[in-house]
Amino acid sequence: MDEAGNRQKAKGNREESRLGRTGLEARGAGLGAPSPHPAALPPASGPPPVTAPEVLASKGKRRLVMVTATDEPSGRLADAAGVDLVLVGDSLAMTALGRPDTLSVTMDEMVHHTRAVAAGVRRALLVADMPFGSYQAAVADAVRNACRLVAEGGAQAVKLEGARGEEIAAIARAGVPVVAHLGLTPQSFHRFGGYRVQARAVREALELVAQGEALQEAGAFLLVLEAIPAAVAELATRRLAIPTIGIGAGAACDGQVLVWADLLGLSVGPAPRFVRRYAELGRIARDAVAAFAEDVRNGSYPAETECYPASPGLALELEKRLRRA
């Protein structure tokens, strides 16, 4: 094959690979197959992608917005809404997998969900939680599993809980940006005796601030503060050079995060006091499915306009042939 032919073949192979990654290429004609998903297309013009250095540089300049996501649609919608960071949190064990806590979610599951969210995120910085047991036993495990979330899942940063300076330093040295997490760390809820507000006493508050400074020194570029008094979060935010993201930590943090299911009214049961619901999608979804079920049962769905038409005479010809059979 000549050089021009080789170039054309290579271009075709690249195009096939690009479309194949979306899993949405149209096969066949006349079936209403969707056009390629936006994730398969070049990014639209607009704000540049958010990076870890840009997040770090935002301290004192703008407030950061983070939400969790568990799959491609939630990642795509959060990204389209203009959030700065999308977190694939281990809370998905509870909000997406129906488990009682976060402790049972595995590395394979976190990689799977991170890869799904990554398919929908074009601009926001994608952060993945390191699940329970993936970094506590050995520093080498922490580095290996952080690299898995990046290489296999498509994460651009990882988050781990607690005063894990040695692990954070090692992961950062491996080239992976790290988000730290202090206060109520849900993977340790057995040690806390439940989901309880932390750092209420002076000694505990000072210890938390000191831990934040140590994790900053270890290489964390961002710190999540969960379920601590607002005054303690304000002190930590003032003392640290890295931004803080609050969840139940008051308004003085450099940004805020909420869980997707809580924010949109998809979770069930009592919500923590810091949750503000911006929609009731659970009720809307339930009512929509109930309406669909009613339409099916009373015969109003599908309507004629929702059916594929037959060619002229097809029904009559089929009837004739069936009678002769």
Measured between alpha carbons, how far is 220 from 176 in angstroms, rounded to an integer? 10
Answer for the pair 41, 25: CB distance below 8 angstroms, yes or no: no
Is residue 15 annotated as a catalytic residue, yes or no? Answer: no
Residue type, 84: D
Across the chain, how many H-helices and E-strands are there? 13, 8
- Count other C-beta atoms under 10 Å from residue 270's C-beta: 7
207, 226, 304, 306: the catalytic one is: 226
Measured between alpha carbons, how far is 150 from 168 in angstroms, rounded to an integer? 15
Q: Which of 134, 79, 83 is nearest to 106 (CA)?
A: 134
Q: DSSP class of residue 8?
A: H
Q: Which tokens sit at 136?
A: 């506590």
Measured between alpha carbons, how far is 266 from 281 in angstroms, rounded to an integer? 6
Q: Which tokens sit at 275?
A: 């949750």
Q: Which residues are catalytic?
A: 226
